[in-house]
Amino acid sequence: MITEFVVTSGEQPKRLDVFLVNRERDISRSALQRLIELGRIRINDQVVKASQKIKPGDKITMDVPKPEPLALKGEAIPLEVLFEDDALLVLNKPAGIVVHPAPGNWTGTLVNALLHHFQTSGGTVSTIGGKERPGLVHRLDKETSGVMVIAKTDHAHRALAAQFKHHSITRVYEALIWGVPKKGHGLIKLAIGRDTKERKKFSAHTTSPKESVTEYQVDHRYGKRAAHVLLYPRTGRTHQLRVHLTSLGHPILGDPTYGGRRVCAIDHVEIPRVMLHARTLGFHHPTTGEVQEFTRSFPSDMEAVSKALEQLTLHRSSKES
């Protein structure tokens, strides 16, 4: 697929590969560099190097071949199933697993695990999401753990998707965050979209803002260094919770994308990942209409960080007293 665009007047001079990696969220820097070496990415119709500096007015032409997905296969990846019947499956997703296949992640995903589960159990899965997203009504980021629902029939998929669309789903997240909000409870209203400069990020600096609302409640304070918060998203935008908490000045611990390197460690306490967990998911069963709600407290890695922060707080308090 060939695309062309002109570098805008406000763009600062930078390497071509650096410029493109912030603009093309689905292509890695190494893949971009290979395309540049092959002459598939050009500036003003000229073959250039990845180190070539772009400038306003440059016309960039990209000829990116469409990736051909591998035939998806079931993989024996353990699943923590919380509930399953003929219409749906509810599971507790671990952190570190990508939900659906995409370039660079055709194997080892939650979908691969689900395909194996249904193949061995004889169950069905909704086809509405297509071959690469069978049964997926919603998703969680790779580093986010927590409760998810999977549709096993097309009817269930449509019914659950409608509930997500109309925000009638009950959702509660919990996070460990940098610092402590001044207010113990509040509502964050900030329209967000894909960032105009860094294409892998979302922010209020966007050409396509979408209404985004999150309610938060401080559940526990670790001195002034960090806090445990409960989050009640009223909308479901990509990276919404991460962006909203950052807008308060309290990014999620372990999230260098929005909080920088400072949030990856507090004193000697190392933060292994983004400290975000989908705690509760509630919905009307698509067949029976019964209200069902599933809750799982945060996993062992978040528990370990929480205990370490508590010990750090107690140690500092004893030194100051």
Strand partners, 147: 92
Active site residue 154: no
| Radius of gyration (C-alpha) of the chain in whole angstroms | 22
Q: Are 132 and 97 in contact (CB under 8 A)?
A: no
Catalytic choice (141, 195, 255, 301): 141
Helix, strand, coil shares, percent, the chain, to 5: 25, 30, 45
> Could you write out the DSSP letters of every residue in 193-211?
EEBSS-TT-EESSBSS-B-
Interatomic CA distance for residues 240 and 181, integer angstroms: 17
Q: How far apart are CA 183 and CA 170, in angstroms?
A: 24
At 173, the amino acid letter reads: Y
Cross-strand pairs, 81:
91
Q: Is 165 helix (H, G, I), strand (E, B) or coil?
A: helix
* Residues forming the active site: 141
